[in-house]
Amino acid sequence: MATSLCTHVPALFLLLLLLVSAPCNAGILRTCKFDAIYQLGDSISDTGNLIREHPFSPFARLPYGGTFFKHATGRCSNGLLIIDFLALSAGIPFLQPYLNSNALFTRGRGVNFAVAGSTALPVETLADNGVVAPVTNSSLSRQLDWMFTHFNGICHDEDDCLEKLKTALFIVGEIGGNDYNYALFQGKSFDQVRSMMPLVIQAIKDAVTRVVGYGATRVIVPGNFPIGCFPVHLTVFRSNDSDAYDGFNCLKDLNNLSSHHNGLLKQAIKELRKELPHATILYGDYYNGYMRLLNKAKFLGLDPNSTQKACCGIGGDYNMELNKMCGAAEVGVCKNPDEYISWDGVHLTQKAYQLISGWLIHGVYWKLRCGV
């Protein structure tokens, strides 16, 4: 037992530091008295489902997880994710991945159904649009099926589920980004990607309707990040035209795609509020949270010269090469990940997620009506 405790001391100490150094609203979600959080989504939120589908995924080994856990957990970062910081704020233990056969899922914790690489649209629908989902078949609809199975196991009947879930927080997304990424990386035009967006938005809208039908009363639906600022997109879609870039050296056309998705999502949320007036359904603004990181980099303790470089990567202007991604033998890790926004060119660092989660909590807290 002593050896086991000692191995956890560094992680426990870091957890205390995070709680002390986090924004003043770090524990504010405790007043909401959530007794569980249920997460649907992709690699932004996955706490270990993909590595149980694919044990040899790079996310199953260091340096992933190295900053906080000192070992890989399946999180696509060096440490904690937004969902982890939400759980900390709510006083709820970190969510176990649904596919963890050793997890004890009880009321008072919640479940993470998110899978890295997943899509909002079923893989069959993507295939009909000429897009291949190369990572997982566990799309949003399959995650919802898992959720249904889980609730059947903990609820005696429909009324019991309604009673149990009224004090839970549901997070639907971020999801949809991979639908667009796969299409873009497989040669689809921006117009073709835009034509997919109504289908993606409808899938998200249907998911929210479904979780509210299960008994959810408070739901956060995050939008997409400004992908034109990500090292992977800056590398793949590099342009010699200076007009293609904005003042932060992000690719404008790619950010416009994200903005278009987010605009459609906000409209869908407005419609959902009318259709489901008994539920509180809120938009989670990841886009502007990310842009704030760029705009206030130095003030936030980030390295202004590394805002578009991967901490874990190698080569090129953005410290990443597609054939030598984070986790490969010759790929190194930056000295201080807390000075970086991007962890591996695709996902963010623990520090970036911590900052964005603080702004997210600040933005939704009063709308959740926790103090009422």
Asked if 103 contacts 117 with a C-beta cutoff of 8 angstroms, the reply is no
Query: Is 46 annotated as catalytic?
Result: no
Decide if 196 is inside a domain: yes
Rounded-to-10 torsion of CA 78, 181, 322, 49: 40
| pLDDT tens for each residue of 330-344 | 999 999 999 999 999
Decide if 317 is inside a domain: no
Q: How far is residue 367's CA from residue 364's CA, in Å, rounded to a whole number?
A: 5
The amino acid that residue 150 corresponds to is H
Residue tagged active-site, from 42, 43, 84, 89:
43
Decide if 329 is inside a domain: no
| pLDDT tens for each residue of 38-93 | 999 999 999 999 999 999 999 999 999 999 999 999 999 999 999 999 999 999 99
Decide if 226 is inside a domain: yes
CATH for 278: 3.40.50.1110
Residue tagged active-site, from 118, 141, 179, 347:
347
Per-residue tokens: 157: 């009947």
Query: Is 278 annotated as catalytic?
Result: no
* Close Cβ partners of 69 (under 8 Å, ≥ 6 residues apart): 11, 75, 79
> How many domains would you assign to the chain?
1
Residue tagged active-site, from 42, 285, 338, 344:
344
**220 exposure class (CB count in 10 Å sphere: 0-12, 13-18, 19+):** buried
Range of the domain at 81: 27-298+349-368
Decide if 10 is inside a domain: no
pLDDT band at 102 (very low <50, low <70, confident <90, very high): confident
Q: How far is residue 196's CA from residue 189's CA, in Å, rounded to a whole number?
A: 11
Residue range 133-151: average pLDDT? 96
pLDDT band at 21 (very low <50, low <70, confident <90, very high): very low
| pLDDT tens for each residue of 258-280 | 999 999 999 999 999 999 999 99
Decide if 94 is inside a domain: yes
pLDDT band at 132 (very low <50, low <70, confident <90, very high): very high
Decide if 319 is inside a domain: no
Query: Is 347 annotated as catalytic?
Result: yes
Q: How far is residue 101's CA from residue 97's CA, in Å, rounded to a whole number?
A: 9
The amino acid that residue 192 corresponds to is Q
Q: How far is residue 132's CA from residue 183's CA, in Å, rounded to a whole number?
A: 8
Residue range 169-183: average pLDDT? 98
Helix (H) or strand (E) holding 203: helix 190-214
Decide if 18 is inside a domain: no
Q: How far is residue 175's CA from residue 188's CA, in Å, rounded to a whole number?
A: 19
